[in-house]
Structure 1
Amino acid sequence: MDQPTTTTGNGIRANGGNISLWILQIVLGGLFIINFGPGKLLGSEQSVELFADIGAGQWLRYVTGTLEVAGGLGLLIPRLSGLAALGLTGVMGGAALTDMVIVDESPIAPLILLIAAAVIAWFRRDRSLAVLQQLRARRSPARS
């Protein structure tokens, strides 16, 4: 007999979809935590040259590396995974735009990362909304 298919509130299959999403989150998080962010924070020759070419100063390299490591870590925390993915979508959007407009390189790599982060952000949007609602409730004074 076929077992009933259950879905989460945002339409992904309860087991297979969630497992696939977690695999994507772990892989993407690992890339940002181990590969991309530390290279910027530790000042790899390639990232120092890249940010020199951008012309905004090395402070942007530190900010970008910090956002990448924090976003990668956030992908591994269930409650924060959607917001982290949303943040990484913005960072990768900036990277793709910078590659196209300023350093005249192919934006394919950041666009692939942007799409992966956007998929996570979309399917974890219920978690993101729950966190934002909790923060909003804490800020609002109790009404009697």
Structure 2
Amino acid sequence: MTSSTSTATTNGSRAGNIALWTLQVVLAAVYAFSAFGKLTAEAQNVAGFEAMGLGMPGMYIIGALELAGAIAMFIPRLTGLAALCFVLLMIGAVTITLAIGGGVLVVMPAVVGVLAAIVAYGRRDSTKALAARFGR
């Protein structure tokens, strides 16, 4: 009975790891695509950031953060921290979208934020290890 419990736990951990990697790839793609529009100053992004009052500097900063986070999704030591930062970024996105009357436009950042929260929780051990390393 002990060996079957051990096998089930191992299989569950492997399946969980595969699910987290899948979410990480999805998040990296979403954020890389989003960053591209900001960093190339696509007209729709420029207009959106002007409407939010963040202007071009805000657009470039957020684009750079998104690209850095997308890359960090593939660096195991940084994944948990990057996902946590994405959660914070999406809280800001949801808040600003609601403040400017975005209505249903809030759904996309909310869903992406939930996915990032799942990865942040699933990779919390890497975030704790990183914090401990720098806390010495």
Question: Would you say same fold, with TM above 0.5?
Answer: yes
TM-score, L = length of structure 1: 0.85
Structure 1 ranges of 4+ moved more than 6 A: none
C-alpha separation between the residues in 2 aligned to 1:62 and 1:105?
25
CA contact (8 A) 1:86 1:118 kept: yes
Structure 1 runs not aligned, ≥5 long: 138-144
For residues 102-139 of structure 1, what are the alpha-carbon distances to aligned partners after superposition, in whole Å with 9 as ceiling and x for unaligned? 253420000000000000000100100000100111xx
CA contact (8 A) 2:77 2:126 kept: yes
Structure 2 runs not aligned, ≥5 long: none
CA contact (8 A) 1:54 1:103 kept: no
**1:117 maps to amino acid:** A
CA contact (8 A) 2:81 2:127 kept: yes
The structure with the greater share of residues assigned to helix is 2
Match of 1:142 in 2: none
Match of 2:113 in 1: 114
Q: CA deviation at 1:31?
A: 1.6
C-alpha separation between the residues in 2 aligned to 1:90 and 1:6?
32
Match of 2:35 in 1: 37
Q: How does 1:1-144 map to 2 (within 5 A)?
A: 2=4, 4-6=7-9, 13-33=12-32, 35-106=33-104, 107-137=106-136
Secondary structure at the residue paired with 1:5?
helix
CA contact (8 A) 2:87 2:117 kept: yes
CA contact (8 A) 2:46 2:55 kept: no
Query: RMSD of the TM alignment (CA)?
Result: 1.8
CA contact (8 A) 1:53 1:103 kept: no
Task: Name the count of aligned residue pairs.
Answer: 132
